[in-house]
Structure 1
Amino acid sequence: METSARIAGVRITHPDRVLDPVLGVRKRDLAEYFAAVARWMMPHVRHRPLTLVRCPEGHEEGCFYQRHASRGFPAEVDRVPVVEPDGATELLVVRRRRGLVALAQVGVLEVHTWLARIDRPLRPDRVGFDLDPGPEVPWSAVVEAALLLRERLRAEGVQAWVKTTGGKGLHLIVPIARRYSFDAARGWARRVAVALAAAQPQRFTLEPRKDARPRRIYVDVLRNAYGASMVAPYSPRARPGLTVSVPVDWEELATGVDPDAWTIATVPLRLRQQPDPWADVGRRGQRLPVSESR
C-alpha cells in the first residue's frame, strides 16, 4: 500500500484510505475527482471564502466544519487575513486547481462557499434559495416547487439558475450586481419566500423544523448573510455514496433527473458529454428591486 501519491501536482498521503465504503472511494479517488471537475467547479469556488466539511477518516467515522486556517493545512490553500467581530483571523480561499485538489489531502468531503467574494465580503454577488422538502415530499413536488419559484423570480425581473443539493432538495441561485448589502439581499429574498408561502401555504412554508412540515417545502433564505455559505456546485456530500450537488438546465429538470445517480463516480462523465448549464452564471450581475443603501 502506497504511503503517498502525487495527483495533479499535489502530494496526497495515505491515498488508499477509504472515505466512503459504499463506493469504496479512497483519498486518491477524491483528489482525482477534484482534479477532473476543476474546470467546471473553480468558477464557483475561486476567490470565495470557504466553509469545509472534513471527514479525515471517512464520513462514517465523523466529520467537522472548518472555515479558518489551522496548523498543518495544505499550503496550496490560501489564507486571507480578515478582521471579524471576534478579532483578526484567516479565512480559507482556493484560487487554483492545485488548491482544490489539496482539499482531498485533509479529507474535505464537502466544499461550501460564501455568497460573496473575498475582495468585497460584505457585498454578495449571489442570492440563494434553498428548497428543503419535508420527509413526505416526493422529488416531483420539489421540482414543481423550483419551477414555481423560478416564475416568481421572473416576475421580480431576475433569472435564476438551479442545481441539486446532493440530497433531497434544490438550490436556486440569482447572480446579482455587487452593490447590495447582505441585509438588502436577504430582505428581498425573504419577501419572495413570504409571498410564495402565502400564495401556496399547502406547498411552501418558512418553518425550518422538518417535524412541523412533513408535507411542505421550507424556503430557506437565511444563508444570505455574512459568513454563511451554501454547498458549492460539483461538491460531493458527506453521505453514503458521495452524491454531488449538480447544476442542471431548467428543461432537463422539468423532463426528469435522478439526483441520487450523480456521484463522484458519474459526474466527470456527465461534464464531458454535455454543455455546462451554469457556464454564464458568473457574467450576470442582475439588479434587485430594492434600495442599494440598505
Structure 2
Amino acid sequence: MSAKPEERIVEGVRLSNPDKILYPEQGVTKGILADYYVAIAPLMLPHVARRPVTMVRCPTGRGSKCFYQRHAGSGVPPQLGEIVIPGFDEPYLYISDVAGLVAMVQMGVLEIHPWGVTIDHPDKADRIVFDLDPDEGLSFEDVIAAAHEVRDRLAALGLLSFVKTTGGKGLHVVVPVEPTAAWKEVKSFAKGVSAQMAADSPERYLTKISIAERAGRIFIDYLRNDPTSTAVAPYSTRSRPGAPVAMPLPWDSVKPGLDPCDYLVTTAPALLAKRKADPWAEMLTVKQTLPDHPRG
C-alpha cells in the first residue's frame, strides 16, 4: 500500500492528513497521536482488545463537536470488528490489534472506553471498576486517600486491585475477576463495597450521583459496573485540554505529590520508558473470583 503525499501508512492503516491538529494547545497532530498509540500498544492492547468499546469521536479535534459511537455506521474502517451481544439490537464495535488503535485515530477518536467484558463472554464481567469522582473543592490527595481505602477494603476480601489516573480529576480502582458472575452480581458487589464506605464515612463519601449532595465529598461511582457502562481505557487519551491520558500506576506511586497532569500524550512515552515493570502486568495473570459478600 503506497501513500499519497498528504497521507501516511501506519501499521497498514491509511492515515489521511497526518498533520491535522487534534489538540490545538499542544500542537498534537493526527500523526503524533497515531505514533503514541503504536508506542504504547503492547501495554494497552491486553486491556482493550476484543472488548466492546464506546468511542468519543472528535473529527475536527479537541474543542470541536464530539460524539459517542458504539455501533457501526458510516466511516467505520475494516480494522474494527463487530459483535452481536444478546439482549441488544445493534452490534457493538471492538478492536483486535494495533491497527485497530490507529484506525480509531483515523476516525478522530480521542477517547476509548471499553466494557468490563470481552467478546468471548459478553454477559460475564471480568473487570470491576470503582470510579472516585471528587467534588471540585477537594484536593487530589483526598482522592489518593480514598483509592487506598478502596484497595484496603478489597484486600480484606481477598481481592487484588489496580489503580490508574483517568486523565481527569479522579482515580479508578480496578479489580480483575474470573468471568463467572453475571452483571447483576458484579454491580451488587461494587455497590456493597461503596455503600459501606459511605456509611462508615458519610462526611467523606457518597454513592448518589446527585451533584447537589456532593459538596466536600467523593462520589464512588459503582454504576460503571453495568452492561454498556464503560470506563476510560488505560493509556487512552481524553478529549480535554493538555492532551491527558489515563495512566496505570504502581500503588507505591499513588501518594501525596502525585499529579495526574504529568501524564500527557507528549510526556507519557518517555515516562513509560523509565519504568522497570508494567504495574498492571499481574492483572493479566491473577486468578480471583467475586467474594460472597458484601452485596448492595
Tell whether the structures are fold-level matches, with TM greater than 0.5.
yes
Q: What does residue 97 of structure 2 align with?
A: 96
Q: What does residue 266 of structure 1 align with?
A: 267
Among 41, 45, 55, the alignment partner of 1:42 is 45
* 2:25 counterpart of 1:25: no
SS in 1 for 2:228: coil
**Which runs of no fewer than 5 residues in structure 1 stay unpaired?**
none
Report the Cα offset of residue 103 of structure 1: 0.7
Q: Deviation per CA, 1:19-62, whole angstroms, max 9, x where unpaired?
A: 11111111111111111110100000011001000000012111
Amino acid at match of 2:166: T
Amino acid at match of 2:292: V
Residues 178 and 287 of structure 2 are in contact (CA less than 8 Å); yes or no, is this contact kept in structure 1?
Answer: yes
Report the Cα offset of residue 177 of structure 1: 1.2
* Higher mean C-alpha displacement, 188-197 vs 281-290: 281-290
| Aligned mates of 2:77, 2:282 — CA distance in 1 | 31
Amino acid at match of 1:5: R
* 2:219 counterpart of 1:218: yes
Q: What does residue 154 of structure 2 align with?
A: 153
Q: What does residue 134 of structure 1 align with?
A: 135
Q: What does residue 168 of structure 1 align with?
A: 169
Amino acid at match of 1:152: R
* 2:55 counterpart of 1:58: no
| Aligned mates of 2:256, 2:281 — CA distance in 1 | 21
Cα gap change, 1:211 to 1:23, in 2 (>3 Å): farther
| Aligned mates of 1:185, 1:201 — CA distance in 2 | 23
Report the Cα offset of residue 82 of structure 1: 3.5
| Aligned mates of 1:146, 1:81 — CA distance in 2 | 35
Cα gap change, 1:217 to 1:255, in 2 (>3 Å): closer
Report the Cα offset of residue 255 of structure 1: 5.3
Q: What does residue 287 of structure 1 align with?
A: 289
| Aligned mates of 1:92, 1:6 — CA distance in 2 | 23
**Which runs of no fewer than 5 residues in structure 2 stay unpaired?**
none
Report the Cα offset of residue 290 of structure 1: 2.5
Cα gap change, 1:7 to 1:130, in 2 (>3 Å): same
SS in 1 for 2:163: strand
Residues 132 and 218 of structure 1 are in contact (CA less than 8 Å); yes or no, is this contact kept in structure 2?
Answer: yes
Report the Cα offset of residue 132 of structure 1: 0.4
Report the Cα offset of residue 83 of structure 1: 4.1
Report the Cα offset of residue 78 of structure 1: 1.5
Q: CA RMSD in A?
A: 1.5
Q: Number of residues paired by the alignment? A: 289
Q: Deviation per CA, 1:155-187, whole angstroms, max 9, x where unpaired?
A: 122111000011000000011111100100110
* 2:124 counterpart of 1:123: yes
Residues 141 and 256 of structure 2 are in contact (CA less than 8 Å); yes or no, is this contact kept in structure 1?
Answer: no
4+ runs of 1 displaced by more than 6 Å? none
State the TM-score, normalizing by the size of structure 2. Answer: 0.94
